[in-house]
Structure 1
Amino acid sequence: MSEARIWHGGDLDEARQLFPQAPEPWIDLSTGINPIAYPTPALPAFSFERLPSPTDHRDLEEAAAEAYAAQSVANVVAAPGTQILISLLPTLWPRSRIAVLGPTYAEHAHAWRGAGHEVAEVSSLDEIGGADILVLVNPNNPDGRTLERAVLLEEAGRLRRRGGWLVVDEAFADFDAGETLVPVLPDNAIVLRSFGKTYGLAGIRLGFAIASESMAMRLRTMLGPWAVSGPALAIGRQALRDREWRQAAGTARAGDAVRLDALLEPVADRPLRGTSLYRLLESRRAPDLFVHLGHRGIWVRRFQHDSELLRFGMPGTEAAWKRIVDALGTFAVTQKA
């Protein structure tokens, strides 16, 4: 029997199938992608017409090393999105025991299991036992749980003593980067960083692995030449060096998170959780709210493992904020009726 389809955010085709009468345009809050994208520069024609050069590729990795505070550019590997890295990592080891700290982004366990590894999805670090490889997301998706750097270093040390590895997905760390492992990266750890989520440019497909030089070389070899497109190289290196934009965007999204929490709190059964790019609502009324919002053209992220959870990304315009305020207001009225 094939494994059940993994639900992801951003699938407006599904939204339109479920709610065919919903008003357009849809407001897609189902992803954790920055709704206000980095302003893409005008690109020269040759970035589309020629194969990317090794110099351009290295320049991108140097920009990423600077942005993420990596120890060396030799530790940074550019890839066409972090998803391809999630799929590649399980092929680097023979059949092993994998602990995935969850609930979290489902593609991690799916990828390791699909490559033939023994996968246990655990709810705490106390449950990892004798796992050979520990995989976790920090900050976690979808609840925003953050593990301190000292805890990660301790776990890496434990794993090293038995020849094990630590894989940390920091896809949402750019705006909440206090505990990033990158500057003090152990030699048995691999960190993944996403470009598209922070910069609102998921469509250009760009992400990075940060690892020891030997592991980085293995990943580069597996990705092969020209792994990143010319347009992605050009946009990525400019954006990654634009610290002022990143800082301003992080401040703005943190403010949006506070604003969204205030709107969702009346529906919540527990305090809102998450990061600057998404908020997680836990409520016994979540299934009804999902349908209510869908009929009004607002698409939010639901979860296979828990029907009482909904994840909300940040609205990108004042018009979107108004539609959300209006929809939540009418939902409150229907709940009182």
Structure 2
Amino acid sequence: MTQSWTFHGGDLAAAKRHFGDCGAPWIDLSTGINPHPWPGAAEMPIDWQRLPEPGALAALEAVAAAYFGVDPQYVCAVPGTEIGLRLAGRLIGGAAHHIAPGYRTHAAMIEASTAIGWSALADRHGTIVFANPGNPDGRVSDPAALRALLDRHGGDGWLLVDEAFADFDEALSIASSIDDARRLILFRSFGKFFGLAGVRLGFVLGPRSFLGDLRALLGAWPLSAAAIKIGTAAYADGDWIAAARRSLPVQAATLDALLSERGYVATGDCPLFRLIRTNRAHDLFYRLARRAILTRPFADAPQWLRIGLPTGDAALARLRAALADG
């Protein structure tokens, strides 16, 4: 199994090099990105000759803060959640625990971090890193339980919650718990729900003193003019956001039914992807890839395969045929 496919989704170039064109356009189901992106980005005029104005960055953070349900003073825009996670880990340091299996950066962002399972979460102290919803399993944790964990946690380390996939249900976020007195930091992604990962935009939510240190590391002009303008417009588009929140669960249910036809049980509550468990997961990965369909296998969980949402009826039909042919 090629490491690039198990390390992170989206390495379509590696798949094309290995499998060729397969006689059909590739369908990339290896990521958890909305296949129906916010539509306004392509037509948006961008001034490429000027550096972004500080007021434009502040406006982006304000409209994003309103979307997250938190005061703008607790929001810092970053050029992608990946960078936000790693800079936060650098600032916090020390010992930590991270939920595994999980997003690889959660293990890497704090050097002295050790892996724990979900069952051990409530008994741990110190800095803890996990995602809600989980990645890659799509597990959703009850926000009330997370707030209770935060209260028990007190000031012993930090609670770091990656909410990169929380946008489909605003009730999942614990952003309202952010304030200067709590050692809570949240990470939010723009690219996944809005389907525009190439914009490279994310947000860190936390106490003002922490965000001050983060801004010092980011320096001047941390975001491109394009990221600022696209993000500001997209977060303000309430009609599109509401429509996406209605349609994504419907698309996920369609994928569930397709997988069930072939005897696979789809798990996870995040509508942007599904996880199946089978002893032949790697064989299934190769079978789909030979038909130009890229999914996400896992080196540390060889019985898992994560499958993103197909785009439209034609992609669903190709996936159905590929699953049946084997």
Please report the TM-score for the alignment, with normalisation by the length of structure 1.
Answer: 0.90
Structure 1 residue 192, shift from structure 2 partner: 0.3
More divergent stretch after superposition (146-155 vs 76-85)? 146-155
Pairwise CA RMSD of aligned residues? 1.8
Shift of 1:330: 1.7
> If the length of structure 2 is used for normalisation, what is the TM-score?
0.93
Please say if 1:63 is aligned against 2:63: yes
Instruction: Kindly provide the amino acid, as one letter, of the partner of residue 185 in structure 1.
Output: I
Which amino acid letter does the alignment assign opposite residue 17 of structure 1?
A: R
Structure 2 partner of 1:228: 223
* Structure 2 residue corresponding to 1:104, chosen from 76, 79, 102: 102
Partner of 1:84: 83
Closer, same or farther in 2 for the Cα pair 1:306/1:126, shift >3 Å?
Answer: closer
Aligned residue number for residue 138 of structure 2 = 144
Alignment match, 2:175: 182
Query: Partner letter of residue 140 of structure 1?
Result: G
Aligned to 1:316: 311
1:221-265 residue CA offsets vs partner (Å, 9 max, x unmatched): 211111011011111000001111011112211111000011112
Contact 2:298 2:304 in 1 (8 A): yes
Q: Which amino acid aligns with 1:299?
A: L
**Unmatched 5+ residue regions in structure 1?**
332-337
Q: Distance in 2 between matches of 1:141 and 1:45?
A: 33
Map of 1:53 onto structure 2: 53
Give the secondary structure class of the aligned counterpart of 1:284.
coil
Q: 1:289: how far off?
A: 1.4
Paired AA for residue 147 in structure 2: L
> Where do 5+ consecutive residues of structure 2 fail to align?
none
Whole-angstrom distance in 2 between the partners of 1:262 and 1:36: 20
Equivalent AA in structure 2 for residue 180 of structure 1: S
Moved more, 298-307 or 153-162: 153-162
1:177 positional shift: 3.3
Q: What secondary structure does 1:264 align onto?
A: helix
Residues 13-52 of structure 1 deviation map (CA, whole Å, 9 limit, x = unaligned): 2212331252331000000011111112433352x11000
Contact kept, 8 Å, 2:183 with 2:207, in 1: the verdict is yes
Distance 1:23 1:111, change over 3 A: farther
Aligned length: 320
Q: Which residue does the alignment assign to 2:166?
A: 173
What is the one-letter code of the residue matched to 1:139?
P
Tell me which moved more, 265-274 or 214-223: 265-274
Deviation of 1:267 (Å)? 4.2
Query: How many angstroms apart in 2 are the aligned matches of 1:307 and 1:238?
Result: 41
Give the superposition deviation at 1:156: 1.8
Match of 2:324 in 1: 329
Match of residue 149 from structure 2: 155
C-alpha distance 13-189 of structure 1, shift in aligned 2 (>3 A) = same
Percent of pairs with identical residues: 38
CA contact (8 A) 1:34 1:199 kept: yes
| CA deviation after TM superposition for structure 1 residue 292, in Å | 1.1
Distance 1:158 1:268, change over 3 A: farther
How far, CA to CA, are the matches of 2:80 and 2:177 in structure 1? 23
